[in-house]
Chain A
């Protein structure tokens, strides 16, 4: 059994967006603070520290997790995906993924503070859609999105952006009209 003493700092090694990273953390250090200050990945935002607002949502081994309710040490050896890792291509390119581009097109962000968490949760959800686990319709998107508070957009543009990626209109257009 591994024991991490309260008054010590301990190494944490994890994969951050595919890159092995190591940092120091106390047992009580929250993953949000570890990502932001220790690893310098400030794309993950902190809105409440009690798991309700969803702004801090990251993916741990592909599953959504509130980073504010996760201890840094719990992420030891895990693969953590943050918003910085969602783009198309290398992070340095700044190229937007299909989902990110849809957000911009639909004006699905204003202040942007809740956006990273939503992008992560939506990414995981879209994978479940692609695997046939969930039906992509507006009700399902709103259900998933209800775990994220946004004060700026009124949610509808976010729903539209996610639905568009889940059910690309071109598919139905191709199927379209025949004899």
Chain B
């Protein structure tokens, strides 16, 4: 399976990438890690006239803490974030979720921003970003803008990014004292796309529960600190509200069952004393 023809533009800065995007318009696609895009090209499912490689843009390689967020630049690989020594303290949910993404050999090339921009409904990173209330920084000819995660994901493989914008970075809020996190995923094989993934953030005020793999985008719900049958009822309501459909990998009732059970597992995991 060989890709169709395309021009390759290798940008060395974000400005160059944006200029290329501007001149090439609808026919250009950003190439970051390529782990989602290249299979589509090899299978000729996508036929962009031009690819803009941003992996050599030094200004997109930033990985730093800034004003209460962990900022991950567009060229930063998932593995680079996974290896970050303080990640488990800075963004615990990321530390928990990253090992679930595909395989190490994919994470060593795939980028965090690439996965966010791709917006696969079963992907882990969009779910994490939405659950922690993160933001996406978009840059385009009209300048920069920040979009909240829940507004960014607009549907299956659809985001708020305009065709002439690139995702410059994503920002994960640092964990605050007293917050607890849990990430639970069920996939067919180790590394497969999530059939259902649950991300939970708990603090003194309540629970934030993000569900991935069911609706066409991550769905985040806020609940009080429930437990026991009250929690089960709330999870049941959540399960039914997601509009689960049948697909070759799992039935709708099956997905709802997983939401209820994995939701419960994840919530209980945040109750434990030790993180």
A interface, CB within 8 angstroms of B: 1-7, 26-28, 30, 33, 49-51, 54, 57, 63-66, 68-71, 73-74, 121, 124-125, 133, 143-144, 146-148
- Give chain B residues whose Cβ lies under 8 Å from the Cβ of A121: 104-105
Q: How far is the CA of A33 from the CA of B2 in the complex (A)?
A: 10
- Give chain B residues whose Cβ lies under 8 Å from the Cβ of A7: 5
- Give chain A residues whose Cβ lies under 8 Å from the Cβ of B5: 6-7, 26-28
Q: Are B55 and A74 in contact (CB under 8 A)?
A: yes
Q: How far is the CA of A147 from the CA of B258 in the complex (A)?
A: 25
Interface pairs A-B: 6 shortest CB-CB: A147-B103, A27-B8, A69-B38, A50-B39, A6-B5, A64-B105
- Give chain B residues whose Cβ lies under 8 Å from the Cβ of A71: 8, 34, 38, 51
Q: Are A1 and B9 in contact (CB under 8 A)?
A: yes
Q: Are B11 and A57 in contact (CB under 8 A)?
A: no
A1-B16, A50-B43, A143-B190 known; A66-B109 Cβ under 8 A = yes
Q: Which of A26, A147, A148 has the most CB of B within 10 A?
A: A147
Give the interface residue-count category, chain B.
Answer: 35 or more
Question: Taking CB as reference atom, which chain A residue is nearest B42?
Answer: A49
B66 interfacial contact with A, CB 8 Å: no
A-B contact pairs, 28 of them (CB 8 A): A1-B9, A1-B11, A1-B12, A3-B9, A4-B7, A27-B6, A27-B7, A28-B3, A49-B1, A49-B42, A50-B39, A50-B43, A51-B106, A54-B103, A64-B105, A64-B108, A65-B109, A66-B35, A70-B38, A71-B8, A71-B38, A73-B8, A74-B34, A74-B55, A124-B108, A147-B102, A147-B106, A147-B191
- Give chain A residues whose Cβ lies under 8 Å from the Cβ of B35: 51, 66, 69
- What distance in Å separates the Cβ of A50 from its nearest Cβ neighbour in chain B? 4
- Give chain B residues whose Cβ lies under 8 Å from the Cβ of A65: 105, 108-109
Q: Are B108 and A63 in contact (CB under 8 A)?
A: yes
Q: How far is the CA of A89 from the CA of B187 in the complex (A)?
A: 43
Q: Are A30 and B102 in contact (CB under 8 A)?
A: no
A63-B79, A74-B53, A74-B55 known; A54-B105 Cβ under 8 A = yes
- Can you add 4 more A-B contacts, CB < 8 Å, to A124-B108, A144-B104? A1-B19, A3-B8, A4-B8, A30-B2
B83 interfacial contact with A, CB 8 Å: yes
- Give chain A residues whose Cβ lies under 8 Å from the Cβ of B1: 49-50
- Give chain B residues whose Cβ lies under 8 Å from the Cβ of A54: 103, 105
Question: Taking CB as reference atom, which chain B residue is nearest A26?
Answer: B5
- Give chain A residues whose Cβ lies under 8 Å from the Cβ of B49: 6
- Give chain A residues whose Cβ lies under 8 Å from the Cβ of B11: 1
- Give chain B residues whose Cβ lies under 8 Å from the Cβ of A147: 102-106, 191
- Give chain B residues whose Cβ lies under 8 Å from the Cβ of A2: 9-10
B20 interfacial contact with A, CB 8 Å: yes
Question: Taking CB as reference atom, which chain A residue is nearest B52?
Answer: A1
B99 interfacial contact with A, CB 8 Å: yes
- What distance in Å separates the Cβ of B111 from its nearest Cβ neighbour in chain A? 13
Within 8 A of A (CB), among B21-67: 34-35, 38-39, 41-43, 49, 51, 53, 55
Question: Taking CB as reference atom, which chain B residue is nearest A73?
Answer: B8
Could you mark each residue 92-110 of chain B with 1 if its beta carbon is under 8 Å from any beta carbon of chain A, else 0?
0000000100111110110
Q: How far is the CA of A28 from the CA of B6 in the complex (A)?
A: 7
- Give chain A residues whose Cβ lies under 8 Å from the Cβ of B38: 51, 68-71
B4 interfacial contact with A, CB 8 Å: yes
